[in-house]
Structure 1
Amino acid sequence: MKILRIISSMNPRSGGPSEGIRQLAVHMQASGHVTECLTADAADADWLAGQPLTIHALGPGRSGYAYCPAMGGWLRSHAHEYDAIIVSGLWQYHGLMARKVLTRLGIPYHVMPHGMLDPWFKHTYPLKHLKKWLYWPWAEYRVLRDAQTVIFTCEEERLLARESFWLYQCNERVTAYGTDTPPQDKERLQNVFLAQYPQLSGKRLILFLSRIHVKKGCDLLIEAFASIAAQYSDAHLLMAGPDQTGWQRELEQLAQALGIADRISWPGMLTGDMKWGAFHSSEVFCLPSHQENFGIVVAEALACGKPVLISNKVNIWREIEADRAGWVNEDSIKGTQSGLQSWLGSSVQQREEMSANAVACFNNRFRIDRVAVRLLEIINNNA
């Protein structure tokens, strides 16, 4: 099968959806399924070199809407070459363009919203939501309505999507989502990471690995850590991820004011061995997000045997709680503090049991071979 994924950007810095597509494409390639991407990325972007799948980058797209008219012409010429077409993400040009082109050609398509219908956005950004309402009836509503299926990555996402707009109609399906099994040569990866950050050797590392963004609850984590740091002198917070909005400086000032600036490290975006080395060098993973559709990085942490401290706004929190693969709390300072305290105050035996639970949770729910099977069932209209 030859699959086309249409997405605004495949830049690795753009977050989980692009990484999920990338990993799934590599896995499916081994089974004879080819995946290509159509994007509004700049054709000369540095990161395009060495990508594991073909990316037709026709941008750069203009404005935050990523308007890229060249995508329409390309799709009209090449859509018939693919066995399935999946639109990833909403609220940008690529979705509306895909609907117009594909419906005129009589070619079915699927949509993966990736959490972009979560009502959190409505409550947090009411003016933006009003703008979306003006756009919704003649654009995104129709993109979803006319799709063969709208594919959600967990049951929680499907239920939340119904709360954002009253004019809502689509053929819903739910698939697992996840990641490939990461490198398991733990000792080598730890050595790679700690050679770069020797000052972290011997520390009880609490890892945050995601975008430095207000949605991710970074400030909650810093304030919660400050409230318990004195009790655990060997605990250290590792805040890894790209600073997309320039918020990091303010967070560093917050840490300074709270007296814990020397207890936090900011390595920036980590990839490859450095990323996996950070996972394997840490005791636990923490993501107190205010909104998180799936959180592929949560699945990566579980795959590395790392229990997760997450908020109940991470949409797979029910699965984590059921499998006892971490602690789930409110997305607040108090909730985040409770999770940190539960982990840091636990016994060695409790930590070992939860680490084993984390691996089992990943293998049973989020391993990428399960994801591939379910996705193929949906796009082949067998589910």
Structure 2
Amino acid sequence: MRIVHAITSVDLRLGGTARAVIDLAEAMAARGHEVTVITANDVNVEQWAQAQPKRPRSLVDKNLKPIFSARRPSSETMRTLRTADVVHVHAMWEPFNLRVAACCRAVGVPYVVTPHGMLDDWCMAQKPWKKRLHLALHGRAFLEGAASVHCTAAAELQQSAKWFPRGRGRVVPNLMDLKAFEVLPGIEEAVAAFPEISQHAVRLLFLSRVSPKKGVQHLVDAVAQLVHDGVDAVALIAGGADADYRVALDARAQKLGITHRIVYLGHVGGTLKLSLIQACDMMVIPSSQENFGFVFFESLAAGTPVVTTELVDTRDELRGSGGAVIVQQNGAAVSAGIREVMRRREPHAADPMRMDVARAWVFRELALDVVTAQFEAMYRDAASMRTTA
């Protein structure tokens, strides 16, 4: 198939959406499809500048960004869209997306939309009047004109569907490359890099952007409760931090008397990240919203349990893996979830948490060939709706 992905920017500094698009484009190209990524920003596209077998091609068209513009899309853009079997448009709220969809309609080519969680209840509660206005003016027609609105979990679709009542929703999990998790590096690299791992009995890992959305304050409160109850716990916070939020977290930890038990590691990547996940007793991310949450499934693939909240869209999938505890978003509930994992990981627990089973679940349900086949099926169904030769 000729598949076109459209996203305003593939700048990886802007977040996980760009990473998801790059991984999906490369996976589809590797399976023999002719893949082009159209973007309005030339950042991070240099690796696709030259056409290569089984690699995506990049096409930068800055004329697409303004919604009200006399500048037409380039002739190359229109030729690429016209000859595509399907166009996959990523994210919401961008004028770029509306213009790509309009071009698709003009040439009779079907398009698929992935909101990437941006229609979740929590996201829609942020600057709600702007988003509702966008939907009323353009967004609802954009969504309902799509061959499919792709969500990564049933809970995401349930929340999102009310914004496109006459549209067609479809659930396909995010694509993950699990190759690095097939043979794990062991804990030695992390233990050598972070001495705190060896200094405490219960190591709680937070691996994500440190921002208010991620609910780190609830983890701080949970650590305080555990320490009060006599548990030798430490929270290892890995990820870049919003400056103001970090100040507030430090003040909270100081007030609770646990400053030395909240340790910031900064960004951690590569084999060190995998080693760190293995070296900790559990991953704890009390987030307000995640439409997928790659890090949860990475943790399970490394054999490490997960504690997260009922606000995460993949909560049912995580619970079904057998390796996660889902709690309400508050310190007491997070503390109780941590204690549940501790209890179920004891040698003679009545209901043991079988991380070998959870790990096998990830490799079965999220295997690269399994998920890419689901995307291919979605694209074939969309391509069948084409109205031009």
- With structure 2 as the length reference, what TM-score do the two structures score? 0.84
1:294 is aligned, of 289, 292, 295, to 292
Q: Secondary structure at the match of 2:116?
A: coil
| Distance in 2 separating the partners of 1:196 and 1:129 | 43
| Distance in 1 separating the partners of 2:242 and 2:99 | 27
| Distance in 2 separating the partners of 1:105 and 1:327 | 48
Worse-matched range after superposition: 191-200 or 169-178:
191-200
| Distance in 1 separating the partners of 2:286 and 2:72 | 37
1:228-239 equivalent positions in 2, closer than 5 A: 228-231=226-229, 234-239=232-237
Residue pair 1:60, 1:66 contacting (<8 A) in 2 also: no
Q: Secondary structure at the match of 1:265?
A: strand
Give the Å deviation of 1:228: 0.8
Q: Which residue of 2 aligns with 1:150?
A: 149
Q: Which amino acid aligns with 1:290?
A: S
Q: Which residue of 2 aligns with 1:376?
A: 376
Q: Which residue of 2 aligns with 1:209?
A: 207
Q: Secondary structure at the match of 2:377?
A: helix
Residue pair 1:326, 1:354 contacting (<8 A) in 2 also: no
Q: Which amino acid aligns with 1:259?
A: G
| Distance in 2 separating the partners of 1:218 and 1:151 | 29
Residue pair 1:176, 1:370 contacting (<8 A) in 2 also: no
Worse-matched range after superposition: 226-235 or 293-302:
226-235
Q: Secondary structure at the match of 1:380?
A: helix
Worse-matched range after superposition: 271-280 or 95-104:
271-280
| Distance in 1 separating the partners of 2:19 and 2:93 | 19
Worse-matched range after superposition: 231-240 or 69-78:
69-78
Q: Which amino acid aligns with 2:213?
A: K
Residue pair 1:117, 1:161 contacting (<8 A) in 2 also: yes
Structure 1 pair 212–10 and aligned structure 2 pair: CA distance change class (3 A): farther
Write the deviation string for residues 199-255 of structure 1: whole angstroms up to 9, x where unpaired.
Answer: 433643211112222221111111122211344654321212233574223222222
Q: Which residue of 1 aligns with 2:158?
A: 159
Give the Å deviation of 1:96: 0.9
Q: Which residue of 2 aligns with 1:108?
A: 110
Q: Which residue of 2 aligns with 1:9?
A: 9
Give the Å deviation of 1:55: 4.6
1:197 is aligned, of 194, 199, 202, to 194
1:289-368 equivalent positions in 2, closer than 5 A: 289-349=287-347, 353-368=353-368
Structure 1 pair 290–76 and aligned structure 2 pair: CA distance change class (3 A): same
Q: Which residue of 1 aligns with 2:85?
A: 83
Worse-matched range after superposition: 31-40 or 185-194:
185-194
Q: Which amino acid aligns with 1:291?
A: Q
Write the deviation string for residues 41-70 of structure 1: whole angstroms up to 9, x where unpaired.
Answer: 4x3x4x5566885554556999xx999998
Give the Å deviation of 1:319: 2.0
The answer as to 2:179 corresponding to 1:171 is no
Q: Which residue of 1 aligns with 2:52?
A: none
Q: Which residue of 1 aligns with 2:387?
A: none
Structure 1 pair 358–57 and aligned structure 2 pair: CA distance change class (3 A): farther
Write the deviation string for residues 299-348 of structure 1: whole angstroms up to 9, x where unpaired.
Answer: 21121122211111111111222332211111222221221121234443
| Distance in 2 separating the partners of 1:38 and 1:240 | 33
Structure 1 pair 333–362 and aligned structure 2 pair: CA distance change class (3 A): same
Residue pair 1:320, 1:361 contacting (<8 A) in 2 also: no
Q: Which residue of 1 aligns with 2:275?
A: 277
Residue pair 1:182, 1:303 contacting (<8 A) in 2 also: no
Q: Which amino acid aligns with 1:370?
A: V
Give the Å deviation of 1:174: 1.6
Structure 1 pair 289–194 and aligned structure 2 pair: CA distance change class (3 A): same
Q: Which amino acid aligns with 2:138?
A: A
Give the Å deviation of 1:352: 7.0
Residue pair 2:2, 2:34 contacting (<8 A) in 1 also: yes
Q: Secondary structure at the match of 1:138?
A: helix
Give the Å deviation of 1:87: 0.8
Q: Which residue of 1 aligns with 2:251?
A: 253
Q: Which has the larger radius of gyration?
A: 2
Q: Which residue of 1 aligns with 2:31?
A: 31
Residue pair 1:240, 1:269 contacting (<8 A) in 2 also: yes
Q: Secondary structure at the match of 1:78?
A: helix
Structure 2, unaligned stretches of length 5 or more? 49-54, 385-389
Q: Secondary structure at the match of 1:208?
A: strand
Q: Secondary structure at the match of 1:292?
A: coil
Residue pair 1:182, 1:300 contacting (<8 A) in 2 also: no
Count of residues in correspondence between the two structures = 373
| Distance in 2 separating the partners of 1:320 and 1:347 | 17
1:47-86 equivalent positions in 2, closer than 5 A: 54-56=57-59, 72-73=73-74, 75-86=77-88
Give the Å deviation of 1:155: 1.3
| Distance in 1 separating the partners of 2:194 and 2:18 | 28
Aligned CA RMSD, in angstroms, stands at: 3.2
Worse-matched range after superposition: 194-203 or 354-363:
194-203
